Chain A
């Protein structure tokens, strides 16, 4: 099984007053569809966007994204 980029964005959004995908998208300057694609692991963001997401949640990058074995297959 190959390693993939995983994330905790859904949980972090929930922890931040149930922030919507649209709110997060507006704050990092991407579309809601892009946030959804990142969250589902269908799209790996650039380093800049990844840091922006971590900055919005006020946590280190490795708390948002992890690189490891995934049980979910990439579409």
Chain B
């Protein structure tokens, strides 16, 4: 019961961060499954077709959920971000930047691992981008709940 009140007490921006976090999490799980299928089971697949198709589907889901939340609280959705929300965005982006930086360097480092190829490097880079974005949304959620 308390979780219902918790959801109702959320601001539009926090709900938006939750939606983005869940949608990106879903995409990450699908992407990991795809990479495992290609890497370990050598599944015949068109990677670009899979990537674009999944990306479009998840983006459509995210837009749909945002529209639904905006209909629930239209006034908040129309209101521009205030100073606290902008500060939360900046802090979250700063944390995500360091995650991306470490991930990018680690991806470059894969060229020194024997047996790795361009596919591994690209997937490591993709993993870094997804981790950085997940970190950004997670930090936004934490800061919305705590303070700025």
Contact = CB atoms under 8 A, between A and B. Distances in A.
Interface stretch (B23-31, B54-62, B78-86, B104-112): B78-86
Secondary structure type dominating chain A contacts: loop
Nearest to B87: A43
Interface string B82-99: 111100000000000000
Interface residues of B, number: 13
Interface stretch (B42-50, B120-128, B129-137, B140-148): B140-148
30 contacts: A29-B82, A30-B82, A30-B83, A30-B84, A31-B11, A31-B76, A31-B79, A31-B84, A31-B85, A32-B11, A33-B14, A33-B84, A33-B144, A34-B82, A34-B83, A34-B84, A34-B85, A37-B84, A37-B147, A37-B148, A42-B147, A42-B148, A43-B84, A43-B147, A45-B83, A45-B84, A46-B83, A49-B83, A74-B147, A75-B146
Interface of B: 11, 13-14, 76, 79, 82-85, 144, 146-148
